[in-house]
Amino acid sequence: MPLPTRLVVVIRADLPHAWAVNAAAVLGLSLGVRLPGPPPEDAKDASGGLHAGLDPHPVPVLSGTPDQLRELYQRATGREDLVTVGFDEVARRAREYDDYLIALAATPGEEIEYVAIGLFGPRNRVTALTKHLPLHGAPTQEPSASSAVSGKRRGDLFPTGGDDRRFSGPATGDERWLLQDVLRDQRETLRLKCSGVSTELARRSVEPSTLSLLGLVRHLADVERRWFRRVLAGQDAPPIFSSGSDPDGDFDAAVNDPEVIEAAWQAWDAEVAFAEKFVARAADLDVEGHDAWRGAVSLRWVLVHLIEEYARHNGHADLLRERIDGVIGL
């Protein structure tokens, strides 16, 4: 079960290796003293030796350009739900902490260049801010359309530039965790198919179709919202991107606008987070809700239906992404 919070370190891509290691260490120390809750419990090995407790969060170390780091810091800092620590050039060049404080006080905010940034907070919020960034040290050049098609099989995993753990979960065991794991893989596939492109998210397939990657994100946010919030949780939660008078608004209004794109990802992340929390807290898979279309439905049926829904639309995403830049893969 993934933790509800996430901890991420982002390092400037062109930083020399030794400086990158130093930046990660500085951020680890600076974030560690700011994390809520008691320190992790110490552990013992089989021989009785004591081992200091380790923070339970996996810590992906990502990479970004100077502009990306500056934008990330601006978007993250000041949010009450996030712990944000920036390691900048002023700090890196200072010999003593007092020197840093004096130099920083004399540096205008717009002139600060960030070497690395650490983020901690709600999983969906941190993911939304960092999902477009590659792992540090991973190749950053996107394959060309010709090399992507000729150099990969369609049955290979989609190129992520890092550690792809989809489709590697257990194939036996508790039904709830199996269904959750398969659905999580399908959700992550949609996110991957949308990674590495920005304005192209709104690019449509072939006229007269209005299908686009951005439309899929908006549509699936409403799908998650319907089944988990409205049907199973019984909340008054109308669709965000479509309505009775505009049933295809999720696709038709998916336009190339930064605010529209940001709103789509925020909605999708929020609905996925709600769904995962609902499933984890449900008494069992026989929990029921009422849907105007299907009548009484169980949590088990909803999970199977969501897997079906994502699998169908990820097929659309395969074609949409290949048309944008030729990149293929599961």
Mean pLDDT calculated for residue range 86-108: 89
Residue 167 is classified by DSSP as T
Indicate if the pLDDT at residue 151 is higher than 50. Answer: no
Query: What pLDDT is attached to residue 290?
Result: 96
Listed as own residue / partner, the contacts of 308-314 with beta carbons closer than 8 Å and 24 or more positions apart are 309/220, 309/223, 310/183, 310/186, 310/187, 310/189, 310/190, 310/220, 311/186, 313/190, 313/216, 313/219, 313/220, 314/186, 314/189, 314/190, 314/193
Indicate if the pLDDT at residue 306 is higher than 90. Answer: yes
Query: What pLDDT is attached to residue 2?
Result: 65
Query: What pLDDT is attached to residue 141?
Result: 45
Q: Is 119 helix (H, G, I), strand (E, B) or coil?
A: strand
The residue that leads in pLDDT, 326 or 276, is 276
Q: What percent of the chain has pLDDT over 70?
A: 90
Mean pLDDT calculated for residue range 85-100: 88
**Neighbouring-strand partners of residue 295:** 291
pLDDT tens-digit series, residues 189-242 = 998 888 877 777 878 877 788 899 999 999 999 999 999 999 999 999 999 999
Do 285 and 298 meet the contact criterion of CB atoms below 8 Å apart?
yes
Residue 257 token pair: 């606008």
Distance CA 209, CA 323 (A): 14
Query: What pLDDT is attached to residue 289?
Result: 97
Q: Is 135 helix (H, G, I), strand (E, B) or coil?
A: strand
- The string of DSSP letters for 247-297 reads TTHHHHT--S-HHHHHHHHHHHHHHHHHHHHHHHHSS-TT-EEEETTTEEE
Query: What pLDDT is attached to residue 134?
Result: 87
CB within 8 A of 155, min separation 6: which ones? 330
Query: What pLDDT is attached to residue 146?
Result: 41
Q: pTM score > 0.85 for this model?
A: no
pLDDT tens-digit series, residues 36-81 = 888 889 999 999 999 999 888 888 899 989 889 998 999 898 888 8
Domains of the chain: 5-41+50-130 (3.40.1490.10), 145-325 (1.20.120.450)
The residue that leads in pLDDT, 325 or 301, is 301
pLDDT class of 330 with cuts at 50, 70, 90: low
Mean pLDDT calculated for residue range 16-36: 88
Indicate if the pLDDT at residue 162 is higher than 70. Answer: no
Mean pLDDT calculated for residue range 1-20: 85
